[in-house]
Structure formats: structure tokens, C-alpha cells
A = this chain, B = another copy of it.
Amino acid sequence: MTGSGFSAPAIAFSGSVIDRADAVRGDPEKLAALTNWRARLLRLDGLVPVIAADGGLEWGTLADADPAAELVFLGLAPDGRACFAAVDPALVGSVAPPNPQLWQVMSLLAPADLAVYGAAKALVDWHARHRFCARCGHGTELRKGGWQRTCTNPACKAEHFPRVDPVTIMTVEHDGRLLLGRQPRFPPRSYSALAGFVEPGETVEEAVAREISEEAGLVVRDVRYIASQPWPFPSSLMIACHAVADDDTITIDKTELDDARWFTRDQVVAAMQRRDDATFNAPPPFAIAHHLLVWWLNQ
């Protein structure tokens, strides 16, 4: 932290203390030996974490899982016990509807618990939505402790892996002001960093430049990587960058954005301090956009 008085919180959904124990996943004997009465099962209500009496994640044992549920091996807890999550048969083949309670429940969790939950949620949701082989249409089955699904068609046997979608999210600076935008789905007065998926055939830096061009009509230079964040909705890797524009004439893509504006440093400070006279609402601390604003204010 330099100067501004703002410091960034831990990056939400990062900092898990579970050892992913990659070597266990590929070893059926090791995995079977760990799938025992000592193993811990992360309790989920659909895709929402269950909160324990102590305010942390609620863990049960494998006996608590639906006997028909597939089990995903999350890794080893610091005490050596295996940690699992179950793919609730009720979720299978469905698209989990947005759950307004989810954000409220997640806000109760300590950072390390939120990270464990985020990884589990992304994996369980992927299994629920990937029951069939994209190549041949046959059914697939869980393998390697849930880090793979394999097509059951003997003529195909295609292997499928949990998906992570890289997304660029970026602030743009021009003459001491910062470009932020709002999507139609944002709460009133909320502005945040522009964002978009990285596409096949482009670098992170090219994706940043393309998104800013598409959404705000600006040409940028000096794209700089700042930080990254796993984002389990459904399973993105947010890649946060900062770029510089030589011009400030914005052309908003109204299919993507409600609005986009340049904000002064004082306006960003007021928003980050949640002051009554703030001209907009800043992104909350769990969003990597919040980190981008802290980084910029500390320049």
C-alpha cells in the first residue's frame, strides 16, 4: 500500500489450504484407500454451501452423501484427511437457477473456506452439466477423482476435463481518469471494470485491447497484467489488467453496456470509501475489479 490509504483484501476464492494431491487422482488404489470413514464431505444444499455452527463450512462424512451421487476428490486437508464433494443427483443435467441467497451465504465465509467452496462449486457444477460426450453423444463417467470424465462408448473413449474459461477484466486510464462501465444487470449506480472472455487465437493483451475497442470504442496501449482470480460462476479465471488510452472519446456498445464513463481519482476515492457524496458505487471487495481500483489508487 502506498499513498492512498487503501489496501487490497485477500483475493476472494483464492488461498485454499487443501492440497490438491494430483498424484492421488491418477492412482485408483490410493484414492480408494482415502475414500474411507475418516474422509470429509463438503455439505452443499444444491450448489449453496451449508454453514456450520462455528460459522465455517459444514463438513460431514461420506455416509452423508446420496448413495447415487458421484464423488469429487477435492484434495487433502492439512490433517491428511481426504476431502470430497458429492454431485447431487438432483443437479444432474440441470442448470442451477441463480440463487440470491448464495452471495449472502458466501459473505459469511472466511477467505480460506470461500476458496475451498469455490473450487468445489466449479467442479460439482461442471459434472452436473457434462453428462455426455461432446464428440459422440454417449454417456460419460467420472474418472480420476472427478478431474476427468471419460466417454463410455468403447469406440470413442474421449477424455473430458473440467473447464476453466479465461476472462480479461481491465481498467483503462486516460490523463489521470479511469474508465468504468456498467452492465444492465448491475445494481443502480454501480460501475466496474470492463470484461470479456479470451477467445481462441489471441493473447491476454490482445483480448484486453479488443474488449475495450468493442465495448467503448477506444484504442489502448501498454496493457499490463495486475492480478488473477478464480471465479466459480460457472468457472472462470479472471485476468485483471490495466491499459492506457491516448484518446477519451467513448463509443458505448449498448448491447453490452448501459453506460461507461471516465472517473477522476477523487471520484474513485469517494466511491471506494463508500461516502455519501460518491458519484457511483464501486465494485465490492470480493471482485477483482476492486483490486484493480486499489492498485490504481496506490500508483
Contacts and interface: CB of A to CB of B under 8 A. Distances in A.
A290 B133 CA distance: 36
A214 B139 CA distance: 32
A95 to B, nearest CB: 8
Interface string A9-37: 00101111000101100100000000000
A177 interface: no
Contact of A115 (B134, B201, B239): B201
A163 interface: yes
A111 interface: no
Nearest to A21: B214
A216 to B, nearest CB: 13
B162 A210 contact: no
A89 interface: no
A228 B205 CA distance: 8
Contacts of A239: 204, 239
A136 interface: yes
A66 interface: no
Contacts of A20: 199, 210
Contacts of A232: 200-201
Interface stretch (A102-110, A124-132, A279-287): A124-132
Given A197-B161, A199-B162, A237 B22 contact: no
A264 to B, nearest CB: 29
A234 to B, nearest CB: 9
22 contacts: A11-B203, A14-B203, A15-B206, A16-B201, A20-B210, A23-B214, A23-B255, A26-B255, A119-B199, A119-B201, A126-B200, A132-B136, A133-B134, A137-B138, A162-B199, A162-B200, A164-B198, A166-B237, A201-B230, A203-B227, A203-B229, A225-B225
Interface of A: 11, 13-16, 20, 22-23, 26, 93, 95, 115-116, 118-120, 122-123, 126, 129-139, 147, 158, 160-166, 197-206, 210, 214, 225, 227-230, 232, 235, 237, 239, 253, 255
> What are the nearest 10 A-B pairs in CB distance?
A119-B201, A122-B200, A132-B137, A225-B225, A204-B228, A130-B134, A166-B166, A203-B228, A14-B203, A200-B235
